[in-house]
Amino acid sequence: MADKYNLFTESELTKEACAKLIEFYESYQEKNWNLFLSLREEWATLHPELPLSDALCANINTITGEFRPVKEQRIWCWGDGRALGIWGYSLLCDLVPDKTVTLRNGKSVNMKDALKSYCDDILAGSIKRYELNKGTIPVAASPATGLADDHPWNPETGIGIKTFSNLFTVTGWVLYGIYTDNSTIVDKGIKEFDSVLKSFETFTFHTGASMLSPAFRVHGPRMIALGVAGEILKGLDSVEKKGISKWSGIKNDIIVKAIKLLEYILDGNYRQDPISFWERSNPDGTPMTIDGITTVDPGHASEFSGFLAEVIPYLPAEWGSSKWNREKALKAALYCHLFAGRVGFSPKGVMYKAVDLYTEKPLPDGQAIGANGRLTAPWWNVREHCASALRLYTLTRDNRLIESFRKAQHASYTAYPNPIIMDQMIQTIDPETLEPVDIAPATGNLDPMHDPRARIREIENLKILLS
């Protein structure tokens, strides 16, 4: 296993260790893109009667590798937005190889050209479904009509409701718009970002479980929005390094948005004594207990700490707040990450979906449809933990993060890769037996974002350590 997946075993992140990991990760990421391109080709051959030509085509069982039955196929708009965002970023930052590769069906394609073509189609589909649903991008839509289907996470459409699909799509519209030099799409993305942020304030954002409400505070939508801000800022950096300043005018506004988002989260879902980060708060920012349970999602703590770390370099040292500045925000990111590592891992070395804030005991997965009260360990939380650990390490050089990275990296590459799907990751396992379970944590497709986005961020920070 260590040889195949290049597990990090060194005591330090030496230049040699970083170089080995970069080589491994870049090769692994090529397999990731190849699989998504392959699945699209394979579906079109198997089911010409149900083309999914303008949407992500990856609705598979990640254990068997088989496509879900036709009757279960949906357009996962959430997944479309995620794919366009991370692929747009990858193309913009010149991460996708401009070379001929062979897909699983034997077809030869230029990887960069094929991924761009896929993005063109997803972009067109996302705009079409945005318009069909009157500004709401549903979690899932009907392949036949493009309208929101009967998925229980879909809100009522046509009344200005925003969703995580809208939020993920913002990243794709802005970054892919910059990559293709399409001002109309960039402007559309920035305006949609403003609309989604406004929906937080007006309680017209639907989380999949409910509308936001003044009766409680949750960090989730704003945490994802902070991630969007970070990806846009990093994308702008990439084009500026190429001498392109056309888009630089939007940077300051994105930084202002990021500050407002991080303050809301740190004020309402984080505390330093004792260090903790939880899911839902009372209106005064204290942890909310429901039926005797106060939920912590260690993966969300990891994800937030990583998103916060990504925006830290763009923040001014001070911004007029009596409570927060860049140094204090960085410290909070570090503490959130270490908290997740302390409370989140099972005895088998993977990360629980949920634990209780006060008892620190694992909780049944209350989010995934089909979990039915069982404990789960989705793939995405250890991947976010890896990315967070390395970004925080390049910012702080805190040696505790080396062990944190090692733990999450070993979990990532010992518990989840599946050779049937080109070593891409099974979406859910049992945290106490490591048995794969066919439970979709969020969307029913193979997710195109968490694992590759984490890997790309790991590569970025390993290259910092090499420089």
Residue 68 near residue 131, CB atoms below 8 Å: no
pLDDT score of 34 more than 90: yes
Give 45's DSSP letter.
Answer: H
pLDDT at position 158 is 67
List, for residues 162-188, the tens digit of each pLDDT value. 999 999 999 999 999 999 999 999 999
Our count of domains for the chain comes to 1
The tokens describing 344, both together, are: 């989140």
Mean pLDDT of 271-299: 96
pLDDT at position 1 is 42
pLDDT at position 2 is 43
**What element of type H or E holds 76?**
strand 75-76
Q: How many beta carbons lie within 10 A of that of residue 256, not counting itself?
A: 12
- The model's confidence at residue 368, banded by pLDDT at 50, 70 and 90, is confident
Mean pLDDT of 188-205: 98
Cα(107)–Cα(171) distance, integer angstroms: 30
Mean pLDDT of 113-141: 97
- The model's confidence at residue 367, banded by pLDDT at 50, 70 and 90, is confident
For 124, 328, 370, 387, 450, the CA distances from 402, given in Å and listed in that order, are: 42, 21, 35, 12, 21
Q: Which domain holds residue 427?
A: 2-466
Query: What average pLDDT does the chain have?
Result: 96
List, for residues 89-121, the tens digit of each pLDDT value. 999 999 999 999 999 999 999 999 999 999 999
For 4, 64, 262, the CA distances from 448, given in Å and listed in that order, are: 22, 18, 26
Within 8 A by CB and 6+ apart from 92, the residues are 175, 176, 178, 179, 235, 238, 239
Cα(153)–Cα(159) distance, integer angstroms: 16
pLDDT score of 387 more than 90: yes
CATH number assigned to the domain comprising residue 313: 1.50.10.10
Give residue 428's identity as a one-letter amino acid code: T
Cα(196)–Cα(202) distance, integer angstroms: 10
Least confident interval from 161-165, 265-269, 366-370, 441-445: 441-445
Query: Which SS3 state, helix, strand or coil, does residue 373 take?
Result: coil
- The model's confidence at residue 86, banded by pLDDT at 50, 70 and 90, is very high
pLDDT at position 157 is 67
Burial grade of 168 (CB within 10 A; 0-12, 13-18, 19 or more): buried
- The model's confidence at residue 3, banded by pLDDT at 50, 70 and 90, is low
